[in-house]
Chain A
Amino acid sequence: MSPAPHDVPPANATFRQRVRCFFGERLGLESLTALAAKKHVPIHRATVFYFLGGMALFLFGIQVITGILLALYYKPSPDQAFESVRAIMTEVDYGWLIRSIHSWSANLLIGVLLLHLLTTYIMRAYRRPREFTWITGVFLLGLFMAFGFSGYLLPWNQLAFFATRVGTGIMGAVPFVGHELLLFARGGENVTGDTLARFYAVHVVILPLAVFALLGLHLYLVQKHGMSIPPWAAAKVGGERNVPSMPFVPHFLLRDMVGWYIALGILAALAALFPWELGHKADPFGSAPQGIKPEWYFLAMFQTLKHLPQHVLGIEGETVGVLFFNFCGLVVLLIPFVDYRAAQGRPRHLLNLLATLVVVGFIVMTAWGLLEK
């Protein structure tokens, strides 16, 4: 395909070519197609990690579509929320499929995002000049976890209600502003219809807008800087310039599509074989169900907080835990600046050790949380 605009299509142009000329002349799509043609993906041992970003994007797309569909039937009020979800599961045609896909895809998405974070760390993709790509990415991870937390409450069942109560309660453990945070999150002292309305607005309006903005920036930066090549891959062939690559369109995209189709198959299987539970309608005046736990991506934090001692060095245990997690988050956010020697290819043994500890700790605490009754 030629990048030059067509004023008049050649005489023997096919139908396809005519259509392309028509739009090309008016919309000026050549710049986009030129960009797409320019984009290349490096080929090395860790190329498979490059799929994760696209997979996350695909799953997010699924979330947007299924989320919009669900929003057509969901009613965000305490007396109607549970009923409307029940109606979606049992009365609306294929409602069960859309809802289960939405819930499963949310979990898969966060899993993929965590892997994406981990692999970009491993590949040191945050090196100069890609620090802001990393920073926007970490913020995006936070936004997606907020998506998960806010969406979890919407069915208004027992598990969701009490998990939200516990989760927002933990917010109150932040020193000084904790109580204000709690009031802001809950829309009051307790989890009520106000909380539900708030979470719904956050989940359906605020977070999507924030994510679109930040994601746009993130993707722009990725296009601008191109795909990062890990230092050892470059070293193997004697410099970045020598690293072989494939064009994004169509080669890498086709491989992406394989992954997307497989993901679709997995989601369909999960939705049909393990439909997402409806649960029981929330009873604010009843007692919390036994062994209440948050979703797996919050479980490690929850489990840690659960088993911290009452007081650590005179400060309340929960506050210490919350502060520690916030500190960890801050460090992760600032890794490009902590590992400032990355650009020079200097090793980062301490950071790697800490990272290993964090990952192992996360896995262990999550497993413990899942196994504990």
Chain B
Amino acid sequence: MAELPESHSRRDWLLRGLEVIVAATVAVLLYPVARFLRPRKQMQSGALEVVAPFRLNQLKLQAQPPFDFDGKPCLVVCTPEGEVRAFNAVCTHLDCTVGFRADHGDIFCQCHLGVYDLHGRNVSGPPPRSLEAYKVTLRGDKDKPGQEEIIVSRTT
């Protein structure tokens, strides 16, 4: 630092004030950087994955409506044997949203009476193709069985 005349206390205060404010601005700059570094929700693994907004026990209790998977509705069903399957809930006929029919144990489209079995295969009515199937992974606590999280991801 260059030599400063001794008695310029006003300049001292100016300098001190400057130091404080500069330090403050640098700290403020670090705030968005710190927020940026924190991981964002959902993307925990490599591929597109979505955690269903309900757990396994909720699904077994009551059929759950389709939720958002990559912009499309995703239907998760539980077979009588207890297997959990997930499908793209857009009907392959004319794009209505399909739903699980508990009394028939199948997947049903009420627009033109399309019926799919629990493998997503089109078994009756106008749908020309099976429903697109997704991969299901269960993730849960050892000491809380039955309450696993249902993670849906693409098969490829």
**A–B proximity contact (CB within 8 A):** yes
Do B40 and A93 touch (CB < 8 A)?
Answer: yes
Among B28-36, B52-60, B71-79, B85-93, which stretch is in contact with chain A? Answer: B28-36
Q: Which chain B residue lies CB-closest to A261?
A: B25
| Distance, CA A92 to CA B34, complexed state (A) | 11
A97 and B2: CB pair below 8 A? no
Known interface pairs A1-B1, A249-B1, A250-B2; A87-B36 also in contact (CB < 8 Å):
no
Q: Report chain B residues within 8 Å CB of A93.
A: 32, 35-36, 38, 40
Interface size on B, residues (CB 8 A): 13
Query: CA separation between A261 and B25, bound complex, in Å?
Result: 10
Q: A91 near B40 (CB under 8 angstroms)?
A: yes
Within 8 A of B (CB), among A60-76: 65, 69, 72
A94 touches B2 (CB 8 A): no
Report Cα–Cα, A361/B1, bound state, in Å.
Answer: 46
Interface 0/1 of B95-107, CB less than 8 Å to A: 0000000000000
By the criterion CB–CB under 8 Å, are A87 and B33 in contact? no
Interface flag for B27 (CB, 8 Å): no
User: B36 is contacted by which of A94, A247, A250 (Cβ under 8 Å)?
Assistant: A94
Q: Does B61 lie at the interface of the complex (its beta carbon under 8 Å from any beta carbon of A)?
A: no
Given contacts A250-B2, A251-B2, contact A94 B35 (CB under 8 A): yes
Q: In the complex, what residues of B have CB within 8 A of residue A250's CB?
A: 1-2
A98 within 8 A of B: yes
Q: Does A95 contact B (CB under 8 A)?
A: yes
With beta carbons under 8 angstroms apart, the residue of A72, A97, A247, A257 that contacts B32 is: A97
Instruction: Kindly report which residue of chain A lies nearest to residue B43, judged by CB atoms.
Output: A87
Among A240-274, those with CB < 8 Å from B are 247, 249-251, 257, 261
Is there an interface contact between B37 and A72, defined as CB atoms closer than 8 Å? yes
Interfacial chain A residues near B2, Cβ < 8 Å: 247, 249-251
Residues of B near A65 (CB, < 8 A) are 33
- Chain B: which residue is nearest A246 at the CB level? B2
Q: Are B36 and A69 in contact (CB under 8 A)?
A: yes
B69 to chain A, nearest CB (A): 15
Closest residue to A249 on the B side, CB-wise? B1
Separation of A95 and B37 alpha carbons in the complex (Å): 9
Residues of chain A with a CB closer than 8 A to B36's CB: 69, 92-95, 98
Nearest-Cβ distance from residue A17 to partner chain B, whole angstroms: 13
Q: A1-B1, A247-B2, A250-B1 are in contact. Are A69 and B40 (CB under 8 A)?
A: no
> How many A residues touch B, CB cutoff 8 Å?
18
Residues of chain B within 8 A of A91, CB atoms compared: 40-41
Bound Cα distance from A341 to B149, whole angstroms = 78
Whether A98 pairs with B32 at a CB distance below 8 angstroms is yes
Instruction: Note all chain A residues with C-beta closer than 8 A to B43.
Output: 87
Q: By CB atoms of chain B within 10 A, which of A92, A249, A261 has the most?
A: A92
Contacts of B37 in A (CB 8 A): 69, 72
- Digit string of B1-45 for contact with A (CB within 8 Å is 1, else 0)? 110000000000000000000100100000011011110110100
- CA of A87 to CA of B2, assembled, Å: 49
Q: Name the B residues within 8 Å of A95 (CB-CB).
A: 36
A97 CB contacts on chain B under 8 angstroms = 32
Residues of B within 8 A of A257 (CB): 22
Chain A residues contacting B35 (CB-CB under 8 Å) are 93-94
CB distance from B9 to the nearest CB of A (A): 17
In the complex formed, the residue of A with least CB distance to B25 is: A261
Q: Are A87 and B1 in contact (CB under 8 A)?
A: no
Instruction: Tell me which residues across on chain A come within 8 A of B25, comparing CB atoms.
Output: 261
CB distance from B2 to the nearest CB of A (A): 5
Q: By the criterion CB–CB under 8 Å, are B32 and A92 in contact? A: no
CB <8 Å contact, B1 and A94: no
Complex: how many Å from CA A72 to CA B43? 13
Q: How far is the CA of A249 from the CA of B1 in the complex (A)?
A: 6
Chain B nearest CB, measured from A362 CB (Å): 35
Distance of A261 Cα from B18 Cα, bound (Å): 13
Chain A contacts with B in 302-335, Cβ cutoff 8 A: none
A330 CA to B69 CA, complexed, in Å: 56
Give the 3 A-B CB pairs with smallest separation, nearest first: A94-B32, A93-B35, A91-B40
Question: Given A69-B37, A91-B40, A251-B2, 5 other A-B contacts at CB below 8 A?
Answer: A65-B33, A69-B33, A87-B43, A92-B40, A249-B1
Chosen A-B contacts, 12 in total, with CB atoms closer than 8 Å, are: A69-B37, A72-B37, A92-B40, A93-B32, A93-B35, A94-B32, A98-B32, A98-B33, A249-B2, A250-B1, A250-B2, A257-B22
